[in-house]
A and B are shown apart, each in its own frame.
Chain A
């Protein structure tokens, strides 16, 4: 066995601690620089930008609440919030229920489970742009698949993306199709973790399947359900690719969402101050929602 190397400077522990910290921060440095440049600094700057007028030509100018005033004067601002709220609500109805029902069913089927798990996740692996282009083609009023299927079933053809009433629902359908795989697999993992004895005990007490679902399954995965609900609301409030590719915000601005409007402000009109004011507002609203939600749903344990 080789002789133990004696620590370089056993004299002072403090010098050693200092050297160890230096080494540690050397390892951390690249990460710290990346986070500082592309996360921490932009957070602060984003809030400041909301109160500034920004052009590439001159240095940013402080304009106080001007941007916020201009936001509230823009009729599209209210439209965007209303549309986004509607999208989020619909997405919750579909996107929250569908994966849970799917997961419960998948957890019960005795055969084909791995095939089903695989297929439900396939859309998640498609690049969103591919999904959108594919569905744009399905929705096509002419050779589109959906209207042809409706035709076979002797149902009237629909103006999927061209009707003010249907456009948002069409976007939610794509979005649910594309994203439900992730949530389904997360639920499935949670369901797999429920101890079987709980079901056996409930069964001995004479609980029906429905009561077992209500009193055993749901309470056991309650935490995961709560968190995914929160994450889904935060995620769907920031919907962008769907309206950007499929409708461009139309027809008649019926699918202009917050992020689509933010994109227009920033990258079409180059009004970075106005866009930042909008993202600050979104940030505040989502933060308040998350805080309130977590407070209301907190359990006593």
Chain B
């Protein structure tokens, strides 16, 4: 599996590639894929980034220009201040990091209990959590919204509070599942040794289990931040107060009024944190993807 190993044998034999026809075909396929992918996936990003540097007049010309005829980097600063994007970014950060914190604390302790403390009915609890993964998200949209409007038993209204994002985010069966599966691999002897040294249950979690679980904690954290950052429908529903909305919801609302170049600048800025996150943590993101797909 490791990428550093010499390539293992794939569909096409090395010998087939060294023949002239094979070599030509390989170069041809490689060339078209490289160009095709660059055009399809990188060019739109280039278009967005440079589009923000053009004037609105240039943007509405019938024939688009590949390079801005005059450069206007100030549209980024204008978008940041004039339309209040700074505030919406702050909201997004608040929502994302709160959700991260809630997910980590709640899901880690749940997974720790299920994996290492093994209470009675633990497996039933896990099964009930996993069952929520089978459910289409839309089936919960209306009842979850009504729950947020009036939380049962305590009768609090969470609309326009960040808790409307944070708490539902913590009910994440995928997190509990991959955390538990990772904790399961930590040998019981290690925990016993810590216990003999006098460590309590919390101490064992903090000083033995968590330090060993860095890779899986990274996966959970990245997906928590990315999930909240990309979300649109749910925050639009539970945060109707415009001053509290994250940047995704705000952009869609402002798209009608903002000058085109500022809108594009806003879109670029809303994407940068996630793109940087991906470039830095590619490995973790890919391992998280494959952890999510059920292996046969």
Question: A: which residues have CB within 8 A of B?
Answer: 2, 4-5, 20-21, 23-25, 27-28, 30-32, 34-35, 37-43, 45-46, 49, 54, 56, 104-112, 115-116, 118-123, 125-130, 133-134, 137-138, 142-143, 145, 148, 177, 182, 185-186, 189-197, 199-200, 203, 209, 212-213, 216-217, 223-224, 227-228, 234, 237-238, 240-241, 244-245, 258-259, 262-263, 266-267, 272, 275-276, 279-280, 282-283, 286, 290
The bracket for how many chain B residues form the interface is: 35 or more
Given A109-B30, A148-B63, check contact A45 B147 (CB 8 Å).
Answer: yes
A247 to chain B, nearest CB (A): 14
- Residues of B within 8 Å of A46, CB to CB, are 139-140, 142-143
CB of B12 to closest CB in A, whole Å: 5
Residues of A within 8 A of B105 (CB): 30
Residue in contact with A127 in the complex, picked from B33, B117, B274, CB distance below 8 Å? B274
Q: A143 contacts which chain B residues (CB < 8 A)?
A: 59-64
Q: Assess whether A37 is in contact with B45, with CB atoms less than 8 Å apart.
A: no
Q: Which residues of A contact B44 (CB under 8 A)?
A: 123, 134, 138
Stretch at the interface among B68-76, B77-85, B166-174: B166-174
Chain B interface residues (CB < 8 Å from chain A): 1, 7-13, 16-17, 26, 29-30, 33-34, 37-38, 40-42, 44-45, 47-48, 51, 59-64, 105-107, 109-110, 112-114, 117-120, 122, 125, 128-129, 132, 134-147, 149, 151-152, 167-168, 170-171, 173, 176, 196-198, 201, 226, 229-230, 232-233, 237, 247-249, 251-252, 255, 260, 263, 267, 270-271, 274-275, 277-279, 282, 285-286, 289-290, 293-294, 296
Contacts A24-B119, A34-B171, A126-B274 given; does A234 touch B34 at CB 8 Å: no
Given A143-B61, A185-B289, also A5-B45 (CB < 8 A): no
B134 to chain A: which residues have CB within 8 Å?
A: 290
Whether A266 contacts B296 in the complex (CB less than 8 A), given A27-B112, A148-B64, comes out as no
Residue from A27, A111, A199 in contact with B13 in the complex, judged by beta carbons closer than 8 Å: A199
One of B29, B30, B109 near A28 (C-beta < 8 A): B109
Docked-complex contact A283 and B128, CB < 8 angstroms: no
Chain B residues whose C-beta falls within 8 Å of the C-beta of A190 in the assembled complex: 293
Contacts of A39 in B (CB 8 A): 129, 132, 135, 140, 171, 173
Partner of B34, one of A116, A125, A138, A244: A116
Alpha-carbon gap, A296 to B242, bound state (A): 49
**Cα distance, A21 to B117, chains bound together (Å):** 8
In the assembled complex, how far is the CB of residue A33 from the closest CB belonging to chain B, in whole angstroms? 9
Do A31 and B106 have beta carbons less than 8 Å apart? Answer: yes
Once the chains bind, are B60 and A282 in contact (CB under 8 Å)? no
Distance of A43 Cα from B149 Cα, bound (Å): 16
Q: With both chains docked as a complex, state the minimum distance between the C-beta of B119 and any C-beta of chain A, in angstroms.
A: 4
Q: Which of B45, B232, B251, B263 contacts A241 (CB 8 A)?
A: B232
- Tell me whether B248 and A276 are in contact (CB under 8 A): no
Smallest Cβ distance from B280 to chain A, in angstroms?
12
* Residue pair B142, A279 in contact (C-beta under 8 Å): yes
Known: A34-B167, A111-B30, A127-B248. A119 touches B41 (CB 8 A): yes
17 A-B contacts, Cβ less than 8 Å apart? A20-B117, A27-B112, A31-B129, A38-B147, A40-B128, A41-B147, A41-B152, A42-B147, A54-B146, A110-B26, A125-B271, A127-B270, A129-B270, A130-B251, A130-B271, A190-B293, A238-B137
Tell whether, in the assembled complex, residue A35 and residue B270 are in contact, meaning their CB atoms are under 8 Å apart: no
- Closest-by-CB residue of B relative to A212 is B11
Residue of chain A at shortest CB distance from B260 = A137
When the two chains form their complex, are residues B270 and A130 in contact, meaning their CB atoms are under 8 A apart?
A: yes
Report the separation of the CA atoms of residues A297 and B61 in the bound assembly, to the nearest whole angstrom. 53
A154 CB → nearest B CB, Å: 15
- A276 contacts B30, CB within 8 Å? no
The CA-CA distance from A43 to B142 in the complex, in Å, is 10
Q: Are B110 and A30 in contact (CB under 8 A)?
A: yes
From B10, B113, B128, B255, give the contact of A199 (CB < 8 A): B10
Contact A224 B293 (CB under 8 A): yes
Residues of B within 8 A of A275 (CB): 141-142
Q: How far is the CA of A19 from the CA of B10 in the complex (A)?
A: 55
Partner pick for B106 among A34, A45, A106, A177, CB 8 A cutoff:
A34
Q: Which residues of B contact A127 (CB under 8 A)?
A: 229-230, 232, 247-248, 270-271, 274
Asked if A28 and B113 sit within 8 Å, CB to CB, the answer is yes
| A286 close to B136 (CB less than 8 A) | yes
Distance (Å) between the CB of B9 and the closest chain A CB?
Answer: 3
